[in-house]
Structure 1
Amino acid sequence: MTSTETRHDLTGTVVGRLAALAAEIRTTGLPAELRKDVARRVLDLLGNSLAAHDQPSARAVTEVARNWSGAAAATGIGTGERFPAATAALVNGTLAHSMDYSDDTHLPSVLHPSASVIPAALAVGEAVGASGAAVLDAAGVGIEIVVRLGMGGYDEELGNSEFFERGQHATSICGAVGSAAAAAVLYGLEAEGIADAMGIAASFGAGLLEANRTGGTVKRTHCGWAAHSGVTSAEFARAGLTGPPTVIEGRFGFLHAFCGDRADTAKVLDGLGEHWELPGIFFKPYPCNHFTHAGIDAARALVRDGLDPADIVEIQLGVPNPVLRTIAEPPASKAAPESGYHAAFSGPFTVARALLGGSGLGVGHADFTDAAAKDPRTLELARLVTSYSDDRCDEIYPHQFSAVLRVRTRDGSWHEARVDHNRGGPANPLSDDELTMKFDLNVEGRLSPESAAEVAGTALALPAAESLDALMATVRG
């Protein structure tokens, strides 16, 4: 139901226009190519979620979720259980973000939208019996809203996200709002109700980035809480709670509160409904922080050209200046990360593993265990890495996370590889076969090859599915 109080006029407001797009997409559907794109992201997320069950964050959140009561309406991926929709979204969003592998990345906002929006859409879609196409439509428009809000906090002059400059995790902050839109669409709310859900969720999104620098596993729960907040906000709106009409652009609204005077509301609406950011969002080929990927690819290129890691005496890693704080500072801890999780945020460590051969599609889960983080040969190479700000990388950032790797060998010669276009993006895409291979690597030891093939085929066929029942049954565990 909707609120009986006097409604505010949403005409011309940012949340009103976003909600109108979401309501329109529920009626008209996404274009076929965008539905396929979202289905690929569902497959990507399911694989990463199934791989994450041994992670402390996933165990902790699932344990807490089991103590919450409510109707068993939606699947907790790999748990063998069903939970209330908001609880399932919490569990699955935490799983999705726990391995830093399913975090598709939008540039230049530097957001990971699918890890919150898709768990919210899957949970509500399963609970209400929505078709596969309806879930993909809701998730697609929710993802679009997330990245557009992120763009509202991107400062061209600064060359970086104002959210990040202030230590805020824009992925979860914006993710709660996009998740609310997706959930509200699937609950059948009209444009006013969708706007209310987003307005409510704007009060619930949160997340600080200090864990990236100094440790702690709480960041892994951010996308789960964003998904949970989104579903809960849609349920509140469904019950009659309302949000402010100027929640995005107002003096005390979303963008000004988080980004201050550097916020740019116009970017949120630029080309809305005509130009879709969705298909340009990067898939991640490696289970580590996206800032490290170009360095990995540069290392792999040098090895393919015949470089012998045993001959290396010096390594220089050039990256965009804003990236240094995440993957290179403080230098001592990045050269010798305290755990496998921290290793995934280290430029020196990831370059070293790639030089030594890595695993999976280049580097894989085996490279980020706690044992791998203590591997003497890897740490010896990582200590040789000096990270610096490269001018060309600064020019490209944040439209690409580029890198240049320069290596000096014992004979005094230098070897260089520069990567300007990230693997997994529009200029260097992953095929369906490569995404399926990534899924297979994620679920190895958890699903039989036959079951893995069934999940992959069912996920990619979602545009034609009558419901989510078949898909969620294959991943319930």
Structure 2
Amino acid sequence: MSRHDFTGTVVGRLAALADHTRKDGLAPDLRKDVARRVLDLLGNSLAAHSQPSAAAVIGVATGWGGNEDATAIGTGRRFPAATAALVNGTLAHSMDSDDTHLPSVLHPSASVIPAALAVAEATGASGAALLDAAGVGIEITVRLGMGGYDEALGNSEFFERGQHATSICGAIGSAAAAAMLYGLDAEGIADAMGIAASFGAGLLEANRTGGSVKRTHCGWAAHSGITAAELARHGLTGPPTVIEGRFGFLHAFCGDRADAAKVVEGLGEQWELPGIFFKPYPCNHFTHAGIDAARELRDRGVRPEDIVGIELGVPAPVLRTIAEPAESKAKPESGYHAAFSGPFTVARALLGGSGLGVGHHDFTDAMAKDPETLRLAGLVRCHADERSSEIYPHQFPAVLRVNTRDGEWHEARVEFNRGGPRNPLSDDELAEKFRLNVGGRRTSEDTGQVAALALGLGDALDVAELMAAVRD
């Protein structure tokens, strides 16, 4: 039993929301929203099995062994809940196709849903209980991210300091979800989050200069969240002012720019959850508007072979991620790094791409060496666009200008990202994304069954049935 009084503290208020939701459930529309995110995550995870990050983490998990409590998606294996969450969170984030909250720029589902799935399967929870826990965990994750967002700066202080807020905040959201499914009360949920606040980690340098470690960040956050909840079950406690304290979470990571009030503003009344953007393309979200602009120009009849110059205007803060260093963005070292390149993604979209616009086939190591793609990518000059900077980070807009051999300039501006509330993906489009993600490894009957099971989770479905459908 906790020795602390959490009344009125930030973590106490978050835990109260979690406890209330555990008992009374989410509203039906919020449950449906989370079910869509579960389907999206399963497809993103199944698509990642060819990646080195998948082999590395599955190899480590297999060496650890342990109780066979929860499914590692697509592996045919079961592991302890925290280990399964490590594998599944890594898979979910490996293809850079996971959802994004704005303006915090977090990918919340990739850590929280793997944690919730693992504990729900291990405990025999219903689909409704899974959705309730995952929904609250996602909400907590993005609200913590907003506590580190500086309106005047127009960017996240986490990102300004090179920290991966997705995994840092995701560890706490995952802990809340896991604690709910373990049946902990408000104090236990608060303790789990307080413990997890010491476990979150992640640096963003790999986005700039290479390395695949970022793919494991959401897996480690999910693993940490479950571990924290298990420790809370066994009596470990967290500090009551873990979020807002002088040596607490926000001050430690974001310093004086942090604003704890944003974390609980409108809590339980105004949900961030339904406004989180789905990704139609498996690449960094900052690149998506440029892709859509390139698709528009192609649809207007601009031919790649006629292009002699390309200008890509984006919000100033995203240049460091998708445009710098310019040499490596124009000629990425691998397919994975190509997914973080504005020049490369624009080039692939101008050449026709695949999937829903561009797809996994556009980000293979072989495609990263494709001569025509590299020719076009080498023509791209990235710059800060004033209008895009004004809109960012509530959208990730872009303007694309292409010069052709006849001396004409062709321009397309995209201000509302596809997959967001202003330009949403339908259930059918999400199901199509799932089909493309599994890439012929499953029959259309199998993909339809998984989609139906995921979207029907709110009907008290046993989570084990869904996980059995994606085990192999």
Bigger mean CA offset, 312-321 vs 460-469? 460-469
Q: Which amino acid aligns with 2:312?
A: L
| TM superposition shift of 1:174 | 0.1
Instruction: Output the CA distance in 2 between the equivalents of 1:466 and 1:193.
Output: 26
Structure 1: 4+ residue segments shifted above 2 A = none
Q: Could you say what secondary structure the match of 1:130 adopts?
A: coil
Say what the alpha-carbon RMSD is for the aligned residues.
0.6
Partner of 1:79: 75
Deviations 1:312-358 (A, max 9, x none): 11000000000000000000110000100000000000000000000
Q: Deviations over 1:169-215 (max 9, x none)?
A: 00000000000000000000000000000000000000000000111
- Partner SS state of residue 476, structure 1: coil
Amino acid at match of 1:158: L
- What are the superposed Cα offsets for residues 119-152 of structure 1, whole Å, 9 maximum, x if unpaired? 0000000000000000000000000000000000
Q: Which amino acid aligns with 1:224?
A: G
Rounded Cα–Cα distance in structure 2 between residues aligned with 1:408 and 1:16: 57
Deviations 1:223-252 (A, max 9, x none): 000000000000000000000000000000
CA-CA distance at 1:467 after TM superposition: 1.1
Counterpart for residue 420 of structure 2? 425
Gaps of at least 5 residues in structure 1 are none
Letter in 2 for 1:18: L
Question: In the alignment, what sits opposite 1:160?
Answer: 155
Q: Distance in 1 between matches of 2:303 and 2:460?
A: 50
Corresponding residue of 1:464: 459
Match of 2:23 among 19, 22, 27: 27
Q: What are the ranges of 5 or more consecutive residues in structure 2 without an aligned counterpart?
A: none
**Corresponding residue for 1:344?**
339
In 2, the alpha carbon distance for the partners of 1:69 and 1:42 equals 26
Residue type matched to 2:49 in 1?
A: H
Match of 1:360? Answer: 355
Alpha-carbon distance between aligned partners in 2 of 1:115 and 1:69, rounded to the nearest angstrom: 23
CA drift of 1:310 comes to 1.1
Tell me, in whole angstroms, the C-alpha distance in 2 between the residues paired with 1:284 and 1:157. 27
Cross-structure match for 2:246:
251
Provide the rounded CA distance (Å) in 2 between the counterparts of 1:436 and 1:8. 46
Separation in structure 2 between the aligned mates of residue 309 and residue 215 of structure 1, nearest angstrom:
28
In structure 1, what residue type is equivalent to 2:293? A
Describe the SS at the equivalent of 1:383.
Answer: helix
- Distance in structure 1 (CA, Å) of the matches to 2:49 and 2:440: 12
How do 1:164-203 residues align onto structure 2 when only pairs under 5 Å count?
164-203=159-198
Residue pair 1:291, 1:401 contacting (<8 A) in 2 also = yes
Structure 2 residue corresponding to 1:146, chosen from 129, 141, 147: 141
**Paired residue type of 2:94:** S
Q: Spell out, residue by residue over 1:337-383, the C-alpha distance to the aligned partner (whole angstroms, 9 max, x if none).
A: 01000000000000000000000000000000001100000000001
The aligned runs of 1:438-453 (5 Å cut-off) are 438-453=433-448
> For the residues of structure 2 that align with 1:267 and 1:9, how far apart are their CA atoms?
22
Check conservation: 1:205, 1:229, Cα contact below 8 A.
Answer: yes
**Structure 2 partner of 1:55:** 51
Which stretch of structure 1 is more off in the superposition, 404-413 or 446-455? 446-455
CA distance in 1, matches of 2:424, 2:405: 36
Q: Secondary structure of 2:366's match?
A: helix
Q: Distance between the aligned counterparts of 2:189 and 2:6, measured in 1?
A: 11
Write the letter of the residue equivalent to 2:316. Answer: N
Q: Secondary structure at the match of 1:430?
A: coil
CA distance in structure 2 between the partners assigned to 1:47 and 1:318 by the alignment: 31
CA distance in 2: counterparts of 1:200 and 1:397, whole angstroms: 33
1:278 aligns with 2:273: yes
Tell me the distance in 2 between the aligned counterparts of 1:99 and 1:476.
19
**Is 1:205 paired with 2:200?**
yes
Partner of residue 328 from structure 1, selected from 323, 330, 338? 323
CA deviation profile, 1:434-466 (whole Å, cap 9, x unmatched): 000000000023212111111111111100033
Secondary structure class of the residue paired with 1:39: helix
- Out of 129, 136, 143, the residue aligned to residue 134 of structure 1 is 129
Native 8 Å contact 1:128 1:186 kept in 2: yes
1 CA distance for matches of 2:412 and 2:357? 16
Note the C-alpha offset of 1:69. 3.0
Q: Tell me, yes or no, if the aligned pair for 1:352 and 1:378 is still in contact at 8 Å.
A: yes
Q: What residue is the counterpart of 1:222 in the other structure? A: 217
- For the pair 1:319 / 2:314, whether they are aligned, the reply is yes
Counterpart AA for 2:89: G
- Given that 1:291 and 1:323 are in contact with CA atoms closer than 8 Å, whether structure 2 keeps it comes out as yes
C-alpha distance in 2 between matches for 1:25 and 1:446: 37
Distance in 2 (alpha carbons) for counterparts of 1:311 and 1:198: 56
Q: Which amino acid letter does the alignment assign opposite residue 240 of structure 2?
A: P
Deviation track 1:71-113 (CA, whole Å, cap 9, x = no partner) reads 1100000110110000000000000011101x20000000000
CA distance in 2, matches of 1:457, 1:11: 41
**1:106 corresponding residue in structure 2:** 101
Amino acid at match of 1:9: D
Does the Cα contact within 8 Å between 1:47 and 1:440 map onto a contact in 2?
Answer: yes
Shift of 1:309: 1.2
Report the Cα distance in structure 1 between the residues aligned to 2:409 and 2:142, rounded to whole angstroms.
40
Conserved 8 A contact 1:50-1:446:
no
SS at match of 1:82: strand
Q: 2:401 aligns with which of 398, 403, 406?
A: 406
Once residues 439 and 384 of structure 2 are traced to their aligned partners in structure 1, the CA distance between those partners, rounded to angstroms, is 38
Aligned length: 472
AA paired with 1:46?
L
**One-letter code of the match for 1:304?**
D
Conserved in 2, the CA contact under 8 Å of 1:319 and 1:394?
yes
TM-score (norm 1): 0.98
What amino acid is the match of 1:79? T
Give the deviation of 1:410 after TM superposition: 0.8
